Amino acid sequence: MTTVTSPIAGRAIGLAAVPDPVFSGAMVGPGTAIDPVREPSEAVAPVDGVIVSLHPHAFVVVDSEGHGVLTHLGIDTVQLNGEGFELLVNKGDTVARGQSIVRWNPAVVEEAGKSPVCPIVALEATADSLSDLQEDGDTKAGDVLFTWR
């Protein structure tokens, strides 16, 4: 069983509220989303594991059970070409839950005309494999978002 914690502070809104049909339709996988606080911050690892994919706007950490968790910082932020994002680790690094991965500023993302909403997705999971899913309320980095069985 894997406990997935929030990589950022903000308000949980659930995947259905993400302004992107691929995420809102859970096509990437089930999970939730966070509308982040609008201040410079660091997105942190939601689980202990290895960074298997790393981009300025998104990263995937795979835990010891083989569960991959995608954190996507904003919607269509790939179009920003890394501007406003700073990578703090490297692909292949082993990270601990809560370790800083990317420094970013959601307000800058919003000013660039993109949504700062952040999907946190359980890759290759089924909706019924997740429990205790947080889809509303304020959340801090490190708060539990869901449990993956």
Active site residues: 72
Buried (b) or exposed (e) across 8-47, using 16+ Cβ within 10 A? bbbebbbbeebebeebbebebbbbbbbbbbeeebebbbbb
Q: Is the dihedral of CA 135, 139, 144, 148 positive or negative?
A: positive
Distance from C-alpha of 95 to C-alpha of 27, rounded to nearest angstrom: 27
Q: Please list, residue by residue across 82-108, b when 16 or more beta carbons sit within 10 angstroms of its beta carbon and e when fewer do.
A: eebbeeebeeeeebebebbbbebbbeb
